[in-house]
């Protein structure tokens, strides 16, 4: 029965940390020992490192000119400013691309550049800096300088075609460079840096901030009055929005940008963002979860179902009535996206389940000509969560199949697709997420090859999802004061997961009760006999708790506020029998 209840058979991992190091860090910073373990595990192993982590400050940001070709990008843009010729920002249709495009357009427009924007249509022009998209862009906005944002790293051929038309290109992107890499006037991509660089994890919204910062520094060096009073901090609301939405690690530079950007976002003067918050129904303090699950999906819905221009217009508008109209439209678009996604996800999971019957499926590839290209990435994430296998989900653009993939620890998806380049028309992306275009006749060959690649590279342990824990605790340590300390570890997200603790030898102290819509959640109370009983909630819980006298419980701690009372609460991640459970 326990196997049914612990549905995914997760591997609990609690790294060994030297007790003397924990004691030293705890004593120096005057923090609880379990919090010192959390910091140590995140690489913050001195009081100086931990202090910077707990108080991320903008002054700790690195020099924007440390990015590859940043000086060349800045010089070319100032040349365009001096000569008065137009700059077209060719963006991407996801939240990262749209926020980066909005940031750069606002800045260039307000500081004297002749700027225009172009976002490709997902269904008609495909992903990234495509030939079709560039042709349509230049027909609408003739220019001598094209700034490709959140795309272009796998578009060497398109860059060559631009050069043949006497058009310079700057690529500002964070995706892994293709083979061969592009050769624009400036190729600003942190993936070209050493893996130890604190700038390497920046997404395109972060890169847009860096470019703006670099332009301001150069403008002041040139004693240009237009840049003297520019405050780059005013852009941080959109930087945080794009960074959280793109699921890049919230560490190092990103942690500083998001931590400070969320403060700006909560008080943003942008009418479009304020209307988006309103229609999204955000009722609590705006944090990473609210951005990721309420704001970002509505902005993304425009590019998935219709055209991303509506999302860009929303971020740029200064008219309150127009902002509310655009935000309401995006909300309706998101509802349609959810309906389509649910239908396709049900079909894709069922097809994947049939693939998994033989037990020898290491990489899932499913597709259908009728599946909407705007949701295949979300569906791929759903398939991955269901089976813990890397997955690609494909739909048709009429002639070819286009799709999106998601991967697991141990398999670099972008690299794997490059090793299948002879089967593909194009591909690009990250280690954990990538897109591709393929002729339908090659799909079976792709499935076979990716299965071989995955089987050879992923270790046996990595086929089971892991649950990385921070520390073992007793109920005496789960106090409101200690939970207030945990909030200083925020913002939580990719690369800085919410604090995960383990209570050993727990017993039920109150009968479990089903709550929520369709009784999907389970509330109960536990005790380890060392402190007061603790309330626990298991979201989307299994049918029943294990019939055990004692069990270990993995959880994230939180504060439940109800009718003026604040009480500690455990958000359950998993249960397992204690060593001496009966």
CATH of the domain at 489: 2.40.50.460
Q: Dihedral sign, CA of 13, 16, 21, 22?
A: positive
Q: Does one domain contain both 147 and 207? A: yes
**Whole-number Å distance between alpha carbons of 491 and 13:** 22
Q: Quick one: which of 326, 341, 328, 400 has its CA closest to 123?
A: 400
Total domains present in the chain: 3
DSSP reduced 3-state for 67:
coil
How much of the chain, in percent, has pLDDT values that exceed 90?
Answer: 83
* Same-domain check for residues 478 and 457: no
Q: Which of 232, 265, 298 is the last residue of a domain?
A: 265
pLDDT at 581: 52
- Domain with 189 in it: what CATH number? 3.90.1640.30
Question: pLDDT of 104-146, one tens digit each?
Answer: 999 999 999 999 999 998 778 877 899 999 999 999 999 999 9
Does residue 382 belong to any structural domain of this protein? yes
**Model confidence, pTM:** 0.90
User: Based on the domain organization, do 512 and 552 belong to the same domain?
Assistant: yes
Cα-based distances in Å from 293 to 277, 286, 349, 435: 12, 11, 22, 22
**Domain annotation covers residue 211:** yes
Residues of the chain with pLDDT under 70: 1-9, 546, 580-582
Kindly state whether residues 107 and 245 are assigned to the same domain.
Answer: yes
Q: Is the CB of residue 355 less than 8 Å from the CB of residue 361?
A: yes
The answer to whether 443 touches 535, Cβ cutoff 8 Å, is no
Do 533 and 550 lie in one domain? The reply is yes
CA distances from 358 to 112, 355, 361, 396 (A): 63, 7, 7, 28
Residue 9: predicted pLDDT:
65
The confidence score (pLDDT) of residue 555 equals 97
- The answer to whether residue 299 sits within a structural domain is no
Q: Are residues 457 and 473 in the same domain?
A: no
Query: What is the pLDDT, as a whole number, of residue 171?
Result: 98
- What integer pLDDT is reported at residue 2 of this predicted model? 29
The answer to the question of residue 271 being in a domain is no
pLDDT at 397: 85
pLDDT reported for residue 123: 73
Tell me if 24 is assigned to some domain: no
Render pLDDT for 419-458 as a digit per residue (tens, 0 to 9). Answer: 999 999 989 888 899 999 999 999 999 999 999 999 999 9
Are 117 and 209 in the same domain?
yes
Residues 6+ apart with CB under 8 A from 337: 297, 300, 301, 304, 305, 374, 375
Q: Mark whether 251 and 385 lie in a shared domain.
A: no
Give the structural domain span for 452.
359-463
Residue range 276-306, pLDDT digits in tens: 999 999 977 899 999 999 999 999 998 887 7
Is 6 in the same domain as 64? no
Q: Which residues contact 293 (CB under 8 A, 6 or more apart)?
A: none
How many C-beta atoms lie closer than 10 Å to residue 140's C-beta? Answer: 10
- Residue 418's SS3 state is helix
Are residues 439 and 500 part of one domain? no
First to last CA, the chain: 13
CATH of the domain at 368: 3.10.310.30
Residue 442 domain flag: yes
List, in sequence order, every beta strand (DSSP E) within 333-456.
Answer: 364-367, 391-396, 401-406, 426-429, 433-438
Quick one: 184 and 239 in the same domain?
yes
Mark which of 265, 292, 326 sits at the end of a domain: 265
Q: Which of 405, 276, 266 is nearest to 331 (CA)?
A: 276
| 245 and 145 both lie in a single domain | yes
Domain end residue (candidates: 265, 298, 315): 265
In a domain, 564, yes or no: yes
Is 33 a member of any domain? no
């Amino acid at each position: 029965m326990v196997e049914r209840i612990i549905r995914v058979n997760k591997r609990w991992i609690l790294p060994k940390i030297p007790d003397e190091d924990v004691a030293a860090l705890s004593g120096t910073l005057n923090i609880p020992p379990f919090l010192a373990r959390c910091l140590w595990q995140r690489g913050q192993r001195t009081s100086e490192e931990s202090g910077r982590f707990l108080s991320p400050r903008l002054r700790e940001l690195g020099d924007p000119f440390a990015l590859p070709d940043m000086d060349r990008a800045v010089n070319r843009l100032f040349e365009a400013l001096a000569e008065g010729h137009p700059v077209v920002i060719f963006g991407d249709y996801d939240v990262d691309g749209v926020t980066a495009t909005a940031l750069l357009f606002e800045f260039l427009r307000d500081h004297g550049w002749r700027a225009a924007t172009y976002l490709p249509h997902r269904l008609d022009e495909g992903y990234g800096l495509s030939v079709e998209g560039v042709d349509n862009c230049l027909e609408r906005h003739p220019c001598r300088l094209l700034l490709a944002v959140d795309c272009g790293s796998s578009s060497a051929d398109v860059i060559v075609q631009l050069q043949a038309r006497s058009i310079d290109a700057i690529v500002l992107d964070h995706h892994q460079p293709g083979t061969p890499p592009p050769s624009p006037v400036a190729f600003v991509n942190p993936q070209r840096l050493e893996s130890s660089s604190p700038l390497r994890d920046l997404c395109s919204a972060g890169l847009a901030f860096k470019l703006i910062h670099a332009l301001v520094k150069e403008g002041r060096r040139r004693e240009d009055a237009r840049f003297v009073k520019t405050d780059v901090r005013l852009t941080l609301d959109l930087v945080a929005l794009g960074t959280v939405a793109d699921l890049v690690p919230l560490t190092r530079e990103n942690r500083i940008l998001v931590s400070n950007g969320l403060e700006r976002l909560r008080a943003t003067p942008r009418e479009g963002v304020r209307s988006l918050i309103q229609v999204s129904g955000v009722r609590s303090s705006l944090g990473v979860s609210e951005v990721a699950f309420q704001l970002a999906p509505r902005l993304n819905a425009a590019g998935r179902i219709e055209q991303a221009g509506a999302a860009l217009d929303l971020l740029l508008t200064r008219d309150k009535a127009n902002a509310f109209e655009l935000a309401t439209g995006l909300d309706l678009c998101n509802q349609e996206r959810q309906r389509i996604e649910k239908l396709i996800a049900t079909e894709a999971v069922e097809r994947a389940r049939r693939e998994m019957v033989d037990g020898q499926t290491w990489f899932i590839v499913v597709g259908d000509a009728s599946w909407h290209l705007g949701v295949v990435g979300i569906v791929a994430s759903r398939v991955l969560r269901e089976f813990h296998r890397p997955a690609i989900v494909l739909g048709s653009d009429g002639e070819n199949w286009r799709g999106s993939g998601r991967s697991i620890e141990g398999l670099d998806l972008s690299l794997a697709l490059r090793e299948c380049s002879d089967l593909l028309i194009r591909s690009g992306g990250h280690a954990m997420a990538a897109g591709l275009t393929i002729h339908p006749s090659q799909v079976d060959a792709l499935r076979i090859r990716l299965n071989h690649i995955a089987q050879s590279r992923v270790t046996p342990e990595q086929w089971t999802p892991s649950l990385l824990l921070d520390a073992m605790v007793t109920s005496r340590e789960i106090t409101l004061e200690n939970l207030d300390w945990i909030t200083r570890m925020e913002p939580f997200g990719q690369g800085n997961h919410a604090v995960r603790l383990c209570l050993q030898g727990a017993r039920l102290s109150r009968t479990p009760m089903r709550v929520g819509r369709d009784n999907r959640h389970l509330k109960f109370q536990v005790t380890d006999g060392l402190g007061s009983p603790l309330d626990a909630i298991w979201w989307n819980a299994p049918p029943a708790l294990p019939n055990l006298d004692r069990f270990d419980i993995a959880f994230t701690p939180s504060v439940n506020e109800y009718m003026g009372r604040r009480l500690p609460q455990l958000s359950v991640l998993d249960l397992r029998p204690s060593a001496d459970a009966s």
